[in-house]
Amino acid sequence: MASEHAVLGLTRSAALEFIGQGVRVNAVLPGGIDTPMVQRFSALNPNLMDQTAAAHPIGRIARPEEIANAIVWLLSDAASFAMGSPLVIDGGYTTR
């Protein structure tokens, strides 16, 4: 939890520092993501994927493209007013 607050503080501080230069700074806070590394760990612990999915109210972990799509949005003009914001993409994990 302390590291998450540190990331948010750094994000807000950097956003304020660079806003005058036209630089947008935001943070992406993902939940579990189905990556090759997670799949390798799952081979060692067959219950890992089910346990990780169960920790997310949506009942699964994210596909990498779901996180990438959110990042693409942040980089687009559609997100031009987003500044110093956390974008939580965690399948409801932090709502518990």
For residue range 56-96, list pLDDT tens digits in order: 999 999 999 999 999 999 999 999 999 999 999 999 999 98
How does residue 42 score in pLDDT terms, banded at 50, 70 and 90? Answer: confident
Domain that holds residue 11: 2-95
CA 51 – CA 55 distance, rounded (Å): 6
1, pLDDT greater than 80:
no
Q: What are the tokens at 74?
A: 């942040």
Predicted TM-score of the model (pTM): 0.87
Cα-based torsion angle of the residue sequence 36, 42, 43, 44 in order, rounded to the nearest 10 degrees: 130
Give the total number of structural domains in the chain: 1
Residue for token pair 């994990």: 93
Q: Looking at the chain, which runs of residues are DSSP E strands? A: 27-30, 86-89
What's 51's domain CATH number? 3.40.50.720
